[in-house]
A and B are shown apart, each in its own frame.
Chain A
Amino acid sequence: MSDKLKEQILRSSGSNVLKCMRCGKCSATCPSYDEMEYHPHQFVYMVEKGDIEKLMSSDSLYKCLTCFACVDRCPRGVEPAKVVEAVRLAAVRRQGNNHLVPTDIPGMLDDDLPQQAIVTAFRKYTK
């Protein structure tokens, strides 16, 4: 499970966590550092180890401002904010269960609703 989750996060972030040389510049540059339980460099390292469940249940996910200071300054181009974002996305997707079932769709349709919104709604509100 954890391996699959790791793979999903690596893919959706587009980041190569193996490029990290553990310098800690991401955490040095982070304006939300003191609010966080897990800091940017820990996000990168814990994703690399596959230790993702702890991150998913931590409030740190929502403390990242996505200011991209870490992305800008990382000497190795690891892009930590994108890793945080990917974990956050995974957590959001997991929240609740299926809030939308296909049989509900016809009742919700109206003429102005774009097809794409239905697809997006499935992505957001289903497991």
Chain B
Amino acid sequence: MQRIGVFVCHCGTNIAATVDVKAVAEALGHEPGVVISREYQYMCSESGQNLVKDAIREHNLTGVVICSCSPRMHENTFRKAAAAAGLNPYLVEIANIREQCSWIHKDIASATEKAVILGKAAVAKVHLNAPLIAGESPVVKRALVIGGGIAGIQTALDIAEAGFDVDIVEKQPTIGGKMAQIDKTFPTLDCAACILTPKMVEASQNEKIHIYSFSEVTDVKGFVGNFTVTIKRKARYVDETKCTGCGLCTEKCPMKKVPNEFNMGLDNRTAIYIPFAQAVPKVATIDPNYCMMMKTGKCGVCSKVCSVGAIDYKQEDKFIEEKYGAIVVATGFNPINLDKYDEFAYNQCADVVTSLELERLMNAAGPNGGTLLRPSDKTHPHTIVFVQCVGSRCDDEKGKPYCSKICCMYTAKHAMLIREKYPDTEVYVFYIDVRTPGKNFDEFYRRAVEQYNVHYIKGMVGKVTPKSDGKIDVQASDLIANEQLHINADMVVLAAAIEPDKTARPLATMLTTQMDTNDFFTEAHPKLRPVESATAGIFLSGACQGPKDIPETVAQGSAAAAKAIGLLCKNSITCNPCVAHSNELMCNGCSACEKVCPYGAITYQDKEFRMPDRTTAIRRVASVNPAVCQGCGACTVACPSGAMDLNGFSNSQIMAEVDAICK
């Protein structure tokens, strides 16, 4: 005979204001098997939990129903309380009378009626609950960081510091990401390369860190603590273990007209190249789309000059498989494509550039050696117009609905640097709002206005027209003067919105993590779990989760590392015992469950069964690997013979709940 205890929570006034909790406790007290029914102001409090514990001991309860908030909130709390009082934690059921009842209803009578029904369903289910024992699965003590920008580097360094092995997978030939392309950083104006490259070197020299550059993740299997990841090592046609990075091949390569992506296509590189001087690893890569040897079979200069014989035109993509306990996503961002913003003439005029292009134009390692010259005629610009919010804060059809966050500050930085270096240059910034929330950020912007006399104009540029004399007509509004302006400019700089890297979405599918409509990864909780994804063992670092500046990215990178370290420190993790199992006598071997299982947890095997009249038969039946099963229940629905069942959510339990609701 079952002995069930029911505990109804007021949750202050969260529940009690809309649900008559006394009436609920009274009604549920009359349910079959219920021996005690109580209500209390805060069931999750220490004394509330003691109420449950005492009742379990005193009445020797065989099942507990808590009518309270969502099980996502406090199921664990009450399971622990039950376990402390000697009751199997899986004999506790939660009836959610807050999120699914009191919060969404206004009428007390009908909300109370609904709360009673939800309670009855939970009582009906707990009658059929069986004690479950959670198993354990080991944790592989190695982490994977996907993306080798500043976010990924910081995360990897911190995980390695804690003593765990960590691999970085970077799709470019070098780590460093966007920060390597940036000239100076706000608000201190220190050189980006000067603070980034030591970290890149540190990562490459740390014996706990292994860098897979020019590589991509192509497949992810497994679960928290035990992921199996396939990494594609793209052919770079150079043997990484032999190349010394001397750079002789890049000097001698006759194919010198390849757009240099590191300098945003503003100058050219050779077909065999090292992206920049401080690249890590400092290894050459051949671009097969331009290499004469690869295209026509005639050349081979690089292989002749290479003294260590590192060139290998026959190299092929290689796939390697590694096991990891934790995965950190740090796939970063890109500026958006500006093709659809015709009004800014970005595709018509070489002197209309994006902010990232301006970074390269001003950088000492950039196309002009650090002298700011117009891309079209290499003359010094005297009037420069900056346009903010290009593609940010837009209607869905026109661009990105969000604020890209970093543009206000980098534009102030650009304006200030230009005025500092070239005082004869007039700088105009058209802004909608200047958003500078951050330590020393508004002071920085004010310095641009007050000390450097940058002309900040509240308004927007409507039309950019390249003129025949090489100048650019910028038509804009000045909303405060209430007039329309025409500025005769030499250069226009567009603060293009930023968006997540294109590789993020296929990666999210592989990792079974969630993304928002803008393809930013979704955190497990927007306030309290900002660096974890909703999928256990997957963590988020940097701009893949939302627009971020460098300090925020580094902070989040370290936070993600801390979470990964917390996981890697454990020798094993407790598995969810609510997994599927197959009743072999009912299984007809149809494979329907195997096909729907998203985790690959189901396999089939041939087994011998006793048949009538002392005969035996070999039958093909399903079996579930409980360590891999995540308890999603897809197989139980797909099984045509009803052989698949889910522990804790069995078909009979769910039918009992439905019956209780419909009664």
Q: Which chain B residue has the least Cβ–Cβ distance from A28?
A: B462
Q: Which residues of B contact A41 (CB under 8 A)?
A: 477, 479
Cα distance A19–B462 when bound, in Å? Answer: 18
Given contacts A28-B475, A41-B479, A75-B389, contact A23 B484 (CB under 8 A): no
Q: Mark B149-180, 1 if CB is under 8 A from A, else 0.
A: 00000000000000000000000000000000
B394 touching A28, Cβ below 8 Å: no
CA distance A10 to B370 in the complex (A): 53
**Cα A23 to Cα B388 with chains together (Å):** 10
Query: Would you give the shortest CB distance from B429 to chain A, in whole angstroms?
Result: 14
Chain A residues, CB < 8 A from B600: none
What distance in Å separates the Cβ of A20 from its nearest Cβ neighbour in chain B? Answer: 11
Tally of A interface residues using CB under 8 Å: 22
Inter-chain contact A28/B393, CB cutoff 8 Å: no
3 nearest interchain CB pairs? A28-B462, A29-B462, A77-B395
The residue from B343, B393, B394 contacting A29, defined by CB atoms under 8 A apart: B343
Q: Please give the distance in Å from A35's CB to the nearest CB on chain B.
A: 11
**Sample (30) of A-B pairs whose CB atoms are under 8 Å apart:** A21-B393, A22-B479, A23-B460, A24-B459, A24-B460, A24-B479, A25-B461, A26-B462, A27-B459, A27-B479, A28-B459, A28-B461, A28-B476, A28-B477, A28-B484, A29-B343, A29-B462, A30-B462, A33-B477, A33-B484, A39-B477, A41-B477, A41-B479, A73-B462, A74-B395, A74-B398, A76-B393, A76-B395, A76-B398, A77-B398
CB of B397 closer than 8 Å to a CB of A: yes
The CA-CA distance from A75 to B482 in the complex, in Å, is: 20
Residues of B within 8 A of A74 (CB): 395, 398
A19 and B395 form a contact (CB under 8 A): yes
- B475 & A29 in contact (Cβ 8 Å cutoff): yes
**Chain A positions near chain B (C-beta within 8 angstroms):** 19, 21-30, 33-34, 39, 41-42, 69, 73-77
Interface hub of A21, A22, A24, A76 (most chain B Cβ within 10 A):
A24
List residues of chain A with CB within 8 A of the CB of B461.
25, 28
- Residues of chain A contacted by B84 (CB below 8 angstroms): none
Partner of A25, one of B395, B399, B462: B462
B interface, how many residues as a size bin? 20 to 34
Main secondary structure of the interface of A (DSSP, over half): helix
Q: Which residues of A contact B463 (CB under 8 A)?
A: 28-29, 69
Q: Which residues of B contact A33 (CB under 8 A)?
A: 477, 484
The answer, among B399, B458, B477, B479, for a CB contact under 8 Å with A75, is: B399
Residue ID in chain A nearest B480 by CB atoms:
A24
A77, B482: Cβ atoms closer than 8 Å: no
Task: Name the B residues within 8 Å of A28 (CB-CB).
Answer: 459-463, 475-477, 484
Contact of A22 (CB < 8 Å), options: B432, B482, B484? B432
Q: A25 to B477, Cβ gap below 8 A?
A: yes
Min Cβ gap B600→A in Å is 45
Query: A74–B459 Cα gap in the complex (Å)?
Result: 13
A74 to B460, CA, bound (A): 10
Besides A23-B389, A39-B482, A75-B393, 19 other CB < 8 A contacts? Answer: A23-B459, A24-B432, A24-B458, A24-B477, A25-B460, A25-B462, A27-B479, A28-B460, A28-B462, A28-B463, A28-B475, A28-B484, A29-B343, A30-B484, A33-B477, A69-B462, A75-B398, A77-B397, A77-B398
Residue of A nearest to B341 (CB): A73
Give bound CA distance, A73 to B394, whole Å.
10
Q: A residues within 8 A CB of B459?
A: 23-24, 27-28
B459 to A, closest residue via Cβ: A24
| Interface-centre pick from B393, B397, B462, B476 (highest chain A CB count, 10 A) | B462
The interface residues of chain B lying within 8 Å CB-to-CB of A69 are: 462-463
In the bound assembly, the distance between CA atoms of A26 and B463 in angstroms comes to 10
* Most chain A beta carbons < 10 A, residue from B389, B459, B460, B461: B460
Q: Which residue of chain A is the closest to B485 with respect to CB atoms?
A: A28
Q: Which residues of A contact B399 (CB under 8 A)?
A: 75
Output the least CB separation between A28 and chain B (Å).
3
CA distance A28 to B476 in the complex (A): 4
> In the complex, A22→B460 CA distance in Å?
9
The distance in angstroms between the C-alpha atoms of A29 and B432, with both chains bound, is: 15
Whole-angstrom distance between the Cβ of A22 and the nearest chain B Cβ: 7
In the complex, chain B residues 424-461 whose Cβ is within 8 Å of any chain A Cβ: 432, 458-461
A23, B398: Cβ atoms under 8 Å?
Answer: no
Contact B395 A75 (CB under 8 A): yes
**Cβ–Cβ contact B484 & A34, under 8 A:** yes
Contacts of A27 in B (CB 8 A): 459, 462, 477, 479, 484
Q: Which residue of A lies closest to B430 (CB)?
A: A28
Kindly supply a per-residue 1/0 record for chain B positions 387-413, scoring 1 wherever the CB is within 8 Å of any chain A CB and 0 otherwise: 001000111011100000000000000
Residue numbers in B under 8 Å from A30 (CB-CB):
462, 484
Q: Bound complex: CA of A29 vs CA of B459, how far in Å?
A: 11
